[in-house]
Amino acid sequence: MNTILKVDKVRKTYPSFTLKDVSFEVKPGEIMGFIGRNGAGKTTTLKSIMNLVHYESGEITAFDLDMRKNELENKQRIGFALSELNYYPNKTIRQLMKVTKKFFKNFDDNKFNEACRLFNLNIDKKLEELSSGMKVKYSVAIALSHNAELLILDEPTSGLDPVSRDEILDIFREIVKKDNRAILFSTHITSDLDKCATSITYIHNGEIIYTGTKKDFINSYLFIKDKTKNKDVLNDYISYKELDDHIEGLIRANKKDIFVKNGINPVEPDLEQIMVYIERSKDNNEGFNL
């Protein structure tokens, strides 16, 4: 199996928003970061994959099986969690596990208990007593306990302190090392993707503007911090901002020589810099023509 998940030209129309022929693939061993501004369509896409949103056209397959036609079978192999766990807040983890396990044929109590020990989860705590980080770990523990081969997570690190986020990212890296598993997770915390993602899918206003390896995405751009404030090259930026003592912005990697000739040395950007300056260019779509 070369592809665990394939989203092909999925379209969903709301009165004020449209998911526009969204397409991307997730392969075994991959950690794909799904990025975009709030309201860009990340959650709608993830809910479409899980058949929680009924899209009008397109096709979604998981494990080479159509998600609509094989929903129950596929969901046995998928771990899915939205950004907040709000169901049954007065129930303990132990009580929730006993209900949840009934939905999965391969649920393994021993694996669940092992995961809880690994994550330092007290299974006799109520859901409402858990921190945001512990709720994420609970979702991952459930996924691991029914041998999920694909994890689909919506903003799993949002609201976590730096230590908890780092622990979650370590867990993600370990998960995909074995058994051909993969993770698709949406996030606006791009520094998390710098640490663990192998690929990026970028959505803007309901439309995919990039999907591919993180390395290729980053290598397509360079970051400029020009203390000479040379205005002769302003038209060669994707977008920029003028600060008190310098101009900074994003350029395409193939324009490096123009800046070097003007005594300006570009550097490799991080994902946050790329996203910020691409979004600043949205009015003319300059940054989107990848």
Domains, the chain: 5-217 (3.40.50.300), 220-288 (no CATH)
Strand positions, DSSP E, 118-276 = 150-154, 182-186, 199-204, 207-213, 221-226, 239-242, 247-252
Share in percent of the chain as helix, strand, coil (round to 5): 35, 25, 35
Is residue 183 within 8 Å of 140, Cβ to Cβ? no
Beta strands 182-186; 31-35: pairing state: parallel
Q: Report pLDDT for 156.
A: 82
227-245 burial by CB neighbour count: b if 16+ within 10 A, else e? eeeeeebeeebbbbeeeee
Q: Report pLDDT for 158.
A: 76
Q: Report pLDDT for 83.
A: 63
Whether this prediction's pTM lies above 0.85 is answered by: yes
Ordered per-residue pLDDT tens for the chain, 290 residues? 689 999 999 999 999 999 999 999 999 999 999 999 888 999 999 999 999 999 999 999 999 999 999 999 999 999 988 766 566 888 999 999 999 899 999 899 998 998 888 888 899 999 889 887 788 788 888 888 888 899 999 888 877 788 878 888 888 898 898 778 999 999 888 899 999 999 999 999 999 999 999 999 999 999 999 999 999 999 999 999 999 999 999 999 999 999 999 999 999 999 999 999 999 886 544 544 54
Closest Cα partner for 201 from 31, 39, 63, 38?
31
